[in-house]
Amino acid sequence: MRWTLKPSPNISIVKKLADELSINTKLAKLLVQRGITNFEEAKEYFRPSLKSLHNPYIMKDMDKAVARIEKAIYNNERILIYGDYDVDGTTSVSLMYSYLKTSYDNLATYIPDRYDEGYGVSYQGIDFADDNGFSLIIALDCGIKAVEKVAYAKEKEIDFIICDHHKPGAVVPDAVAVLNPKQVDCNYPYKELCGCGVGFKLIQALADAKGKTINDLLPFLDLVVTAIAADIVPITGENRVLAYYGLQVLNDSPRTGIKALTHLSNKKKLTITDVVFGIAPRINAAGRIKHGNFAVELLTETNFETALEFAGTIETFNTDRKVLDKTITKEALQQIEDLGETETFSTVVYAENWHKGVIGIVASRLTETYYRPTVVFTKSGDKLAASVRSVKGFDVYNALEGCEEFIEQYGGHKYAAGLTLLPENYDNFKAKFEEVIKNTIDKKLLIPEITIDAELDFTDITPKFYRILKQMGPFGPLNMNPVFKSTTVRDNGYGKQVGEEKTHLKLNVFQSSNQNTFGAIGFNLGDKFNTISNDFDIVYQLEENTWQGNTSIQLHLKDLK
């Protein structure tokens, strides 16, 4: 790993902020690195306020969307709430359905089948709406590129409202309203909402039209924070406010479905990390293994016993997903070895029997192993479908643009995308993708980087220091849990490899300059056991560890040298 220490901010600004907040300069430095330079900014950061959420009507077309929904309700039209099969899509659909259901019944939800219909708005979905008398479709977390499909719906006299956050193409669908802050002509101040976040702005506007306040919408924020965490959007601005209050709802009064999903968990307080690794994979497993409808049914269910049954089914899907993930990753790694492609600039692999619902996870696993842009293909009907993952600092979406001649369809973000192509174009795409990566990537990006916020002496790590650090959460992109470096540390002699295969490292470390000793755990660092016989340097995050009723500060090791 490359260890990169963040540049030190202006020392006079750091000292001034430390004085204003009555904190030490190490903490003040962390805040200035995050763009917080005065008391007011710090107050907004540590105490996020619902009052700082923007007026939803600033978003382009919001007035049109509200007017069309109100008209549909007034005329008792059938409304179809349509969303993608991932966490952002299913939480968006559950959010909109739950909100409208409080005052209107002529509704249904629709999640496309991952295998029969693929990503986003489908012709089958529009045909379903037409066959069943729906005259309005609200599409969430998808639709921004569905130009032909929205036109097809219009021919059938079905209106569309699109709530999306993906990058718009050159042409935007001719819908009644297109809500997407990333549109160049949209003046909405915050551009980083997830799909469920855009959906929430719509229900905020609908509630506002009824004279309701933001406080009336708090119960819906457990869904919003789940989507924010799962979609890996920046936890800044509005997302930070929504995540902050969403976590409170998630912990204090979650909806029945989420309560059923977490009722066997021993967690006393859920964090963003718990959502990313605990809740999100289970919701995702429904769409990956069976159908996204299972997730919507769970998230909109109000009877706890029924919700427990849905949760049990989803837990089974998640177990199946883990088995597939492990098997396919092993096969993919073997393919890379057999083809002699361990030293290339990219990874592109394919097997026609790989499960389409798991290839995204496999792409992430391969990226962790070889650390380079990765594409994993499988057979999908008469085409090949792929999931794409990137490395920190490299825009894989732009790389796909450079391979457009061989691609049928693609979409996504800087670090994750999806695509389809014809089987005969696979070899050409693979060669072109390798060429594009080789010619455009900064070679240092192919070595994993760990960015260090600050260097600490063990005497800096006090209960007060950690208490303030915790208040900097919720953590996530652009507000990551701080990473620290400490030098010349020693193990007290009781360090050992732990885990079934001795893959982890458990230490008790101290610095010779002081007597402060901390427990430390390093997952997948077991092979560095020989490093600890003399002085060594560590990179870590701080966390709490509770053992036999006693809670202490523990170092979560990221690397050691």
Summarised one tens digit per residue, pLDDT across range 415-458 is 889 999 999 999 999 999 999 999 999 999 999 999 999 999 99
Asked whether residue 126 falls in the same domain as residue 255, the answer is: yes
Q: How many Cβ atoms are within 10 Å of 533's Cβ, its own excluded?
A: 10
pLDDT at 265 over 80: no
Position 275, amino acid: V
- Region of 529 on the Ramachandran plot (φ > 0 left; ψ -120 to 50 alpha; else beta): alpha
| 416 belongs to a structural domain | yes
CA 346, CA 240: separation in Å to the nearest integer? 34
The single-letter DSSP state of residue 479 is B
| 555 belongs to a structural domain | yes
Asked whether residue 161 falls in the same domain as residue 309, the answer is: yes
Q: Which CATH number fits the domain that encloses residue 475?
A: 2.40.50.460
pTM for the whole thing? 0.91
What pLDDT, on a 0 to 100 scale, did the predictor assign at position 117? 87
Asked whether residue 290 falls in the same domain as residue 399, the answer is: no
| 44 belongs to a structural domain | no
CA dihedral sign of residues 232, 235, 239, 240: positive
Which of 446, 473, 498 corresponds to the end of one domain? 446
Position 246, amino acid: G
Say if residues 237 and 228 touch (Cβ distance below 8 Å): no
The CA-atom distances, in angstroms, between 44 and each of 218, 258, 532 are: 19, 29, 42
CA 438, CA 4: separation in Å to the nearest integer? 24
What pLDDT, on a 0 to 100 scale, did the predictor assign at position 110? 97
Q: What is the number of helices (H) and of strands (E) in the chain?
A: 19, 19
Encoded tokens for 554: 């523990």
Position 178, amino acid: V
Which of 409, 430, 446 corresponds to the end of one domain? 446
Encoded tokens for 411: 């979409």
Mean pLDDT of 162-186: 95
Asked whether residue 271 falls in the same domain as residue 388, the answer is: no
What pLDDT, on a 0 to 100 scale, did the predictor assign at position 531? 87
- Angle, CA of 99, 104 and 107, to the nearest 5°: 85
Q: Which CATH number fits the domain that encloses residue 261?
A: 3.90.1640.30
- Angle, CA of 520, 478 and 467, to the nearest 5°: 45
Contacts 24+ apart (CB under 8 A), 521-527: 521/545, 521/554, 521/555, 521/556, 521/557, 522/556, 522/557, 522/558, 522/560, 523/557, 525/557, 525/559, 525/560, 526/497, 526/498, 526/499, 526/501, 526/502, 527/503
pLDDT at 267 over 80: no
Asked whether residue 480 falls in the same domain as residue 401, the answer is: no
Domain count, the chain: 3
139 or 169, greater pLDDT: 139
What pLDDT, on a 0 to 100 scale, did the predictor assign at position 550? 87
Closest by CA position to 239, among listed 280, 283, 282, 189: 189
Q: Which CATH number fits the domain that encloses residue 400?
A: 3.10.310.30
Asked whether residue 163 falls in the same domain as residue 256, the answer is: yes
E strand or H helix at 349, and its extent? strand 347-350
pLDDT band at 246 (very low <50, low <70, confident <90, very high): very high
CA 30, CA 53: separation in Å to the nearest integer? 25
| 411 belongs to a structural domain | yes
Give residue for tokens 């349509």. 82
| 26 belongs to a structural domain | no
CA 293, CA 507: separation in Å to the nearest integer? 45
Share of the chain above pLDDT 70, in %: 100
CA 522, CA 367: separation in Å to the nearest integer? 20
Position 446, amino acid: L
Mean pLDDT of 349-364: 95
CA 195, CA 180: separation in Å to the nearest integer? 9
Mean pLDDT of 469-492: 94
Say if residues 287 and 90 touch (Cβ distance below 8 Å): yes
Which of 313, 348, 379 corresponds to the end of one domain? 313
pLDDT band at 115 (very low <50, low <70, confident <90, very high): confident
The single-letter DSSP state of residue 476 is B
The torsion angles phi and psi of 528, rounded to 5 degrees, stand at -100, 15
pLDDT band at 365 (very low <50, low <70, confident <90, very high): very high
What pLDDT, on a 0 to 100 scale, did the predictor assign at position 515? 78
CA 95, CA 85: separation in Å to the nearest integer? 14
Q: What is the mean pLDDT of the chain?
A: 95
pLDDT band at 285 (very low <50, low <70, confident <90, very high): very high
Asked whether residue 149 falls in the same domain as residue 200, the answer is: yes
What pLDDT, on a 0 to 100 scale, did the predictor assign at position 95? 98
pLDDT at 413 over 90: no
Asked whether residue 62 falls in the same domain as residue 185, the answer is: yes
- Angle, CA of 231, 234 and 240, to the nearest 5°: 105
The single-letter DSSP state of residue 52 is G
pLDDT band at 513 (very low <50, low <70, confident <90, very high): confident
Asked whether residue 304 falls in the same domain as residue 365, the answer is: no
The torsion angles phi and psi of 169, rounded to 5 degrees, stand at -85, -170
What pLDDT, on a 0 to 100 scale, did the predictor assign at position 533? 85
Asked whether residue 176 falls in the same domain as residue 280, the answer is: yes
pLDDT at 266 over 90: no
CA 378, CA 349: separation in Å to the nearest integer? 9
CA 425, CA 429: separation in Å to the nearest integer? 6
pLDDT band at 512 (very low <50, low <70, confident <90, very high): confident
pLDDT at 546 over 90: no
Position 525, amino acid: L
Encoded tokens for 212: 């309701």
| 305 belongs to a structural domain | yes
Provide the β-strand partners of residue 428. none
Say if residues 89 and 195 touch (Cβ distance below 8 Å): yes
Asked whether residue 423 falls in the same domain as residue 484, the answer is: no
pLDDT at 547 over 90: no
E strand or H helix at 328, and its extent? helix 304-338
Helix ranges, 136-279 (H): 147-155, 195-209, 221-230, 237-252, 256-262, 272-274
The single-letter DSSP state of residue 290 is I
- Angle, CA of 555, 550 and 47, to the nearest 5°: 65
What range does the domain containing 468 cover? 2-7+450-560
Q: DSSP 3-state assignment of 556?
A: strand
Q: How many Cβ atoms are within 10 Å of 390's Cβ, its own excluded?
A: 26
| 236 belongs to a structural domain | yes
pLDDT at 331 over 80: yes
Q: For 47-82, what is each residue's pLDDT tens digit?
A: 999 999 999 999 999 999 999 999 999 999 999 999
| 46 belongs to a structural domain | no
pLDDT at 264 over 80: no
Lowest mean pLDDT among 172-176, 180-184, 314-318, 497-501: 497-501
Share of the chain above pLDDT 90, in %: 89
- Angle, CA of 552, 556 and 557, to the nearest 5°: 140
**Which residues, 6 or more positions from 400, have their beta carbon under 8 angstroms from its beta carbon?**
388, 407, 410, 412, 417, 419, 433
Mean pLDDT of 349-353: 97
Asked whether residue 186 falls in the same domain as residue 98, the answer is: yes
Mean pLDDT of 262-269: 78
**Which residues, 6 or more positions from 464, have their beta carbon under 8 angstroms from its beta carbon?**
none
CA 212, CA 223: separation in Å to the nearest integer? 19
CA 437, CA 395: separation in Å to the nearest integer? 10
Say if residues 142 and 84 touch (Cβ distance below 8 Å): yes
E strand or H helix at 293, and its extent? helix 293-300
